[in-house]
Amino acid sequence: MHSGTNFIIEGGRALGGEVTTSRSKNGAVALLAATLLNRGTTTLKNMPRIEEVNRLIDVLRSIGAIVIWHDAAVSITPPQSLSLDTIDAEAAAKTRSIILFIGSLIHERAHFDIPQSGGCTLGTRTVRPHLWALEKFGVRIDALTDRFHVEHNGLRSAEVVLLESGDTATENALLAAARLPGTSVITYASANYMVQELCGFLRALGVEIEGVGTTTLTVRGKPAIDLDVVYSVAEDPIDSMFFLALAATTRSEITVHRAPLSFLELELAVLEKMGLKIAVAETGRSENGVTRLADITVHPSALVAFPEKIHPRPYPGLNMDNLPFFAVIATQAEGTTMLHDWVYDKRAIYYTELERLGARTFLHDPHRISIEGPTRFKSAEVVCPSVLRIGAMLVIAMLAAKGRSMLRNVYTINRGYENLVPRLRALGAAIDEIQAENVMSLVLDADRVRS
């Protein structure tokens, strides 16, 4: 999907039914980076076909990897010698996940450049925690204007204290430790879902890891990895949360199947305090044997504002990617809800986009916003911000707004959600995905009908 794709939404309709959680975007990109540790063929099952994955596959192919899709599975075989001179800089620049390649590539090259990372626009998102973590393994990284220059004079196992409990910084440290002889210890690590996913895959490669799910990871590396391995991508809690928020905002009865319960328990507790009626039935574990799954049914409910501020924290706290969904839910809750988005510079400002659809908000500063409800949304035409979860939040608001809305340039949404339009249609939503050049003809046709 290119940036000229738009969503046309006829909102205010009753929704209902069942939806199955998609597989994890953030888990998938970490696994793609980790395939470069393995000289054999890695087959990743249930791989989401989304823009973020497509861009990283473009990068893998550009450096010589053989990548073959088999329905929903993808197999990756690295070359005997990587060709970093031919790396697809355009594809790499479109995703911040390219930074994860550093932790894998240091085992293949003593010095190299990779393009600077892109992705969502969320103010200053420093890469220093990555640089400081990898320094402990003997790596030097210079963050230049358009690229990272990486070099080392030999790698060593290490004890790493992460100065920020970041997901990707933890993953980069894991990738660095995975092929180093001896024992490395990563403290103040993230224990979030994508980190646990990566740990599961590294274990499948024969790397010994203790402390999965905690903030201290002990890694005994495996210097040479040459295996044909099959691993399944686990379910995405942020995808589950999208549909839970859709049900809450539109007062619909929706069942979300295969939701990763361990990574949604705090979100569900907050929603129950807001008056949302929820039924949870555990159904076992994902194919990786680790991720607890449940079917979650949301019943139409009258909501009230959460009495405390809602704010994210590192796992096991409320997930930072789920905070925008609480913004749209808060518009339908009686009273005033405050959100404190301390993680990202300026993301709270994006929540004011809900005003275009009739929401009542008060922006305290770039990190804090109060939202007053309940709101009767109105239809509108909005340009989708270049922030994935904000775009998803606006889709929910438009589905709740009576009348025809348009969300322009939805490339950012397609970067992270697979088959979103057909999945929403299956729940009764009236949503179309059209190219920008077709929008004017639709408008003209509508004018002719009115006349």
- Spell out the domain ranges in the chain: 5-22+235-450, 25-232
Of 2, 4, 21, 35, give the one whose Cα is nearest residue 240: 21
Answer yes or no: same fold for 5-22+235-450 and 25-232.
yes
Residue 89's pLDDT is 86
Q: Are 111 and 183 in contact (CB under 8 A)?
A: no
The residue with greater pLDDT, 331 or 132, is 331
DSSP-derived secondary structure letter, 235: B
The residue with greater pLDDT, 450 or 39, is 39
pLDDT for 120 beyond 80:
no
Residue 451's pLDDT is 37
Written as one letter, the residue type at 416 is G
Listed in sequence order, the DSSP H helices in 35-81 are 51-62
pLDDT for 390 beyond 60:
yes
Mean pLDDT of all residues belonging to the chain: 91
∠ CA(291), CA(174), CA(191), 5° rounding? 40
∠ CA(376), CA(380), CA(381), 5° rounding? 160
pLDDT tens digits, 359-375: 999 999 999 999 999 99
Q: What is the mean pLDDT of residues 179-206?
A: 96
CATH topology assigned to domain 5-22+235-450: UDP-n-acetylglucosamine1-carboxyvinyl-transferase; Chain (3.65.10)
Residue whose entry in the numeric block shows the structure tokens 């895959």: 201
The residue with greater pLDDT, 166 or 447, is 166
Residue 440's pLDDT is 52
Distance (Å, whole) CA 169 – CA 449: 55
Classify domain 25-232 at the CATH class level: alpha beta
pLDDT for 123 beyond 60:
no
Q: Are 177 and 149 in contact (CB under 8 A)?
A: no
Residue 142's pLDDT is 87
Written as one letter, the residue type at 14 is A
Q: What percent of the chain has pLDDT over 90?
A: 78
The residue with greater pLDDT, 132 or 8, is 8
The neighbouring-strand residues paired with 143 are 148
Angle between helices 237-250 and 25-34 (to 10 degrees): 170
Q: What is the mean pLDDT of residues 189-211?
A: 97
∠ CA(248), CA(253), CA(256), 5° rounding? 85
pLDDT for 134 beyond 50:
yes
Confidence band for 38, pLDDT divided at 50, 70 and 90: very high
Confidence band for 437, pLDDT divided at 50, 70 and 90: low
Out of 33-42, 81-90, 426-435, which region has the weakest mean confidence (pLDDT)? Answer: 81-90
pLDDT for 286 beyond 50:
yes
State if pTM tops 0.85: yes
pLDDT for 450 beyond 50:
no
pLDDT tens digits, 238-277: 999 999 999 999 999 999 999 999 999 999 999 999 999 9
* 3-state SS assignment for residue 280: strand
Of 302, 236, 308, 235, give the one whose Cα is nearest residue 269: 308
